[in-house]
Amino acid sequence: MKHITLSVILFVLFCSLLRAENPNIIFLLADDLGYGDLSCYSADSKIPTPNLDRLAGEGMRFTDAHSPSGVCTPTRYSVLTGRYCWRTHLKTGVLKADSPPLIDLNRMTVGDLLKKNGYYTGLVGKWHLGHTWNLKDPSGKVEVDNIDWSRPKKVGALQQGFDYSYGLAKPGWTFSENDKALVEPTEKFDLGKDSAYLMGGNNYRGYRAPGYDHKHMLPRFAEKGVEFIKRAAKKDEPFFMYWAPIAPHKPVVVNDEFVGKSGAGVYGDFVVELDHRVGQLLDALDETGEADNTLIVFTADNGPENIAYDRIQGTGHYSMADWRGVKRDLWEGGNRVPFIVRWPDKVEPGSESDEIISLTDFIATVAGVIGVDLPSNAAEDSYNILPALLGEELEKPIRPAVVYSGSNGVLAIRKGNWVLIDSKTGMVSGEPEWFRNERKVTPHDADQELFNLKRDPQQKQNMIEKSSKVADRLEKLLGKYVESGRSTPKRG
């Protein structure tokens, strides 16, 4: 009995020490948010974002952070695994609502890493990395009427490193908790092509739970995020929350109290609401006394939708700021994203870094924060940016280069001031002629694009012919990264 009692005491002491040494970690991933949407990134922004401005003022703002892809699923894969998604079978586009899991169950995720090291882990919001449902007819398709909604997913977030999950039970429109639909989606609906808040003309149709409304999403995700923080604060172990709202991604569904709160139309109002919901999470950290022991990252999965061009003409708001390109594109506006980190007593308040980083670097940085080594077969494209966070003097860049992909599968590589796009154009989603004329873009007929971002940040002048040797070096490095299966040095 004494032996058991001593074991319990030692375990409690271990948990207490773990909590004291390792910070809570929260990763906030906005959806389709532009570099120029936050007022702390663009003085010309017509969208007030006081809570995110506060986060930046209390932490570090990166000015050269990149999503590894111009679209959703590949970025989320890379955030959680530290591996470029184009190394998987998904070379173009995103997963469908009925797609099987993209992450191999044998591959380490950041959730796995932290759970293994004593963290309580949770996902709130968008998953979009595939799942496996229990089907009524196993030989049939993954369709709403063939899913056994009374049972949780066979494979979902809970099998990939998370103790708790709350999101949507796609392919239905219904909320799910711990990978199980809360209400069966039995109601057929079709919003049509002309609904104003869809912003882009996509149909939103299918099956939803009775009473489900898109407007419930953002408030519900905030509510569940707050609940997770308060529940986790009562535990002995530190916590990790991956909070991924579907905002400001369409459908753009602004709740009444935020309508008219920006100068950038209904989209801007939606960003105002997103900022408010982030504020609710920050308030929960303050209320629980966990703020000082929590590392928070806020960023976005890619640049803004191409409706951003209409927003320029309608309101004068540039979601992509001074960059060229939008979501899906390989130009900077498609992948240069806000990246804010707050970590009290570790990251200098009001600081700024121009270090070139990728969202793929999250898992290696987390490993650095908690002081563990990553296995050799994990996070092959993830670099530890902790030295930049801590404001250390760096003799050389942390990353030799960054690779990012367009939704069409084309790759680009960035090294120093140079970026090589392995295509005739970095455009995927479409760029209006009036915008090219406004930016004074020089047309070309070359097979690739090469830009010097220091001299030409708006990517107006293709340097592929004048600087062919630079292009050759970048092309060889990109080929090496593709062929070797990793862009980081081998571990172990």
Q: pLDDT (tens digit, 9 = 90+) per residue, 327-384?
A: 999 999 999 999 999 999 999 999 999 999 999 999 999 999 999 999 999 999 999 9
CA distance 37 to 14: 44
Could you tell me if 61 and 41 are in contact, meaning their C-beta atoms sit under 8 angstroms apart?
A: yes
User: Can you point out the beta strands (E) in 182-328?
Assistant: 187-190, 205-208, 239-244, 294-300
* Cβ-contact 485, 380 below 8 angstroms: yes
- Of the candidates 130, 125, 91, 126, which has an alpha carbon nearest to the alpha carbon of residue 107? 130
pLDDT of residue 406 exceeding 90, the answer is yes
| % of the chain surpassing 70 pLDDT | 93
pTM of the entire predicted model? 0.94
* Average per-residue pLDDT for the chain: 94
| Cα–Cα nearest to 458, from 321, 298, 351, 343 | 321
Model confidence pLDDT, tens digit, residues 75-96:
999 999 999 999 999 999 999 9
Q: Do 253 and 197 meet the contact criterion of CB atoms below 8 Å apart? A: yes
CA distance 347 to 349: 6
pLDDT in tens, 22-74: 999 999 999 999 999 999 999 999 999 999 999 999 999 999 999 999 999 99
Phi, psi angle pair for 376, to nearest 5°: -65, -25
Which residues does 166 contact at the CB level (< 8 Å), separation at least 6?
A: 122, 123, 124, 125, 175, 176, 177, 178, 221, 224, 228
pLDDT, residue 201, reads 44
Cα separation, 472 vs 467, whole angstroms = 9
Would you say residue 191 has pLDDT above 80?
no
Of the pLDDT bands very low, low, confident and very high (cuts 50, 70, 90), residue 7 is: low
Count Cβ atoms below 10 Å from residue 21 Cβ, excluding itself: 11
- Hey, which residues does 298 pair with through a beta bridge? 28, 340
pLDDT of residue 194: 45
**Model confidence over 271-312: pLDDT tens digits?**
999 999 999 999 999 999 999 999 999 999 999 999 999 999
- Summarize pLDDT for 390-405 with one digit per residue, the tens: 999 999 999 999 999 9
Q: Do the Cβ atoms of 150 and 193 come closer than 8 Å? A: no
pLDDT tens, residue by residue, 456-473:
999 999 999 999 999 999
**pLDDT of 205 above 80:** no
Q: From CA 16, how far away is CA 364, in angstroms rounded? A: 24
Above 60 in pLDDT, residue 445? Answer: yes
- Give φ, ψ of 366 to 5 degrees: -60, -45
Please state the separation of Cα 228 from the chain's center in Å: 20
Is it the case that residue 17 has pLDDT exceeding 70?
A: no
Overall average pLDDT of the 320-328 stretch: 98
Dihedral (Cα; 64, 66, 70, 74), 10-degree rounding:
180
The answer, yes or no, to whether residue 2 has pLDDT greater than 80, is no
- Per-residue model confidence (pLDDT) at position 197: 47
More confident residue, 176 or 8: 176
Provide the pLDDT for residue 200: 44
